[in-house]
Amino acid sequence: MTDLDVRLLKVFRTIVANGGLKGAAKALNVGLPTISKQLSDLEIRLGIRLCVRGGSKFELTQDGSEVYRASTELFSSIEKFRNDVGKIKKKKELLRIAVIDNIITDENSPLPWLISYFDARNCHVSVVVTKPEEIEKGICGNIFDIGITPIYHRNPDLQYTSLYNEVSYLYCGHLHPFFADQDEELDCRTVDAAPCVEHLYVDRRFIPTLKDKSGDGPSALQLEAVLTLILSGNYLGFLPGHFAAAFEDRHQIRKVHQERRQYSTEIGFIHRREGVLNATTLQAIGLLRNRIISEDKPI
């Protein structure tokens, strides 16, 4: 079945719908000889006599009636195919992103512009906030496409790309005994001896103040929980500077030994190896990598 066959079948159907060649010629705005030749061409291509014609008489042969019924099924199938393809084109692509909590307060986070980019291109973006280990599990299990998370180790099944470094500082709340003291008045031993909140998903090996402690303070999973314990006035705790800034501005917390009590965390994006990625995920990876390259260029 060629494009020509389809066009000739459309002419044949117009002839039948208009009761003969004259009516079809008028409907298609072509000459009668043209319609007659097209019908003859179709009969030759099919090897079937489709109708009896002569003078004002027009009648389908039995074979012609069967061809007409078959053409009805054909064009119905073509229309269904067009509708199905249209639905596929209208169907939104999906990009599934998993992130750690409170990344939204970090101006270095690529998440807002990444969502904006794909939303403008009719791609649905889902965002899940969860723990770093759950992000890795979800990426490996094809639950998520992209993860934005601290990089403490590297799973051989995943690809890791560094985005930026997040700096965290040691804080005390306004009810804590250290709050009213100047840093010069606080010696290192006093600060080291103070109970400190342990942020569970942070690798304590990266935090000098905590790596040698045996766990003399409470633990918390979410940053809000760490902050709540700090605000109680009973504990010190580390918070990312971007997350703590608003509470620091309201004088609810302050940094303790800012220059000495800080650590940097590598934040990056992770994904499965390229061989099993869809086009949308590959595009997101390319955008993130290009952003890194553009930010590294000298101004």
Number of domains in the chain: 3
Q: Checking DSSP bridges between strand 198-199 and strand 262-272, what pairing results, if any?
A: unpaired
Task: Using the 3D structure, point to which of 89, 109, 136 is the last residue of a domain.
Answer: 89
- Choose the final residue of a domain: 89, 108, 131: 89
Reported confidence tier of residue 21, pLDDT bands at 50, 70, 90: confident
Say if residue 112 is in the same domain as residue 252: no
Domain membership of residue 152 as a residue range: 93-163+267-296
Is the pLDDT at 228 greater than 90, yes or no? Answer: yes
Confidence band of 92 (pLDDT split at 50, 70, 90)? low
Q: Are residues 106 and 183 in the same domain?
A: no
- Between the alpha carbon of residue 141 and those of residues 119, 145, 157, 158, 273, the distances in Å are 25, 10, 11, 11, 13
- Residue 278 sits in a domain of what CATH number? 3.40.190.10
**Is there a single domain that holds both residue 140 and residue 77?**
no
Same domain, 141 and 103: yes
**What is the C-alpha separation between 136 and 149, in angstroms, rounded?**
9
Domain boundary among 37, 62, 89: 89
Q: What is the CATH number of the domain that holds 45?
A: 1.10.10.10
* Low-confidence winner among 42-46, 84-88, 175-179 (lowest mean pLDDT): 84-88
pLDDT at position 183 is 83
Domain containing residue 183: CATH number: 3.40.190.290
| Per-residue pLDDT at 188 | 87
Quick one: 259 and 174 in the same domain?
yes
Percent of the chain with pLDDT over 90: 51
Residues 60 and 110 in one domain: no
The mean pLDDT of 89-96, rounded to a whole number, is: 77
The helix/strand/coil state of 187 is: coil
Same domain, 285 and 245: no
**Can you tell me the mean pLDDT for 113-130?**
91
Residues 17, 141, single domain; the answer is no
Instruction: Assess contact for 149 and 264: CB atoms under 8 A.
Output: no
**Considering the entire predicted model, what is its pTM?**
0.65
Query: Does residue 51 surpass a pLDDT of 60?
Result: yes
* Domain identity same for 35 and 61: yes
Asked if pLDDT for residue 296 goes beyond 60, the answer is no
3-state secondary structure of 224: helix
Say if residue 260 is in the same domain as residue 170: yes
- In this structure, how many other beta carbons lie within 10 angstroms of the beta carbon of residue 208? 13
Same domain, 73 and 99: no
Q: Are residues 154 and 271 in the same domain?
A: yes
Looking at residue 165, its pLDDT comes to: 94
DSSP H or E stretch at residue 29: none
Tens digits of residue pLDDT in 233-274 = 999 999 999 999 999 999 999 999 988 889 999 999 999 986
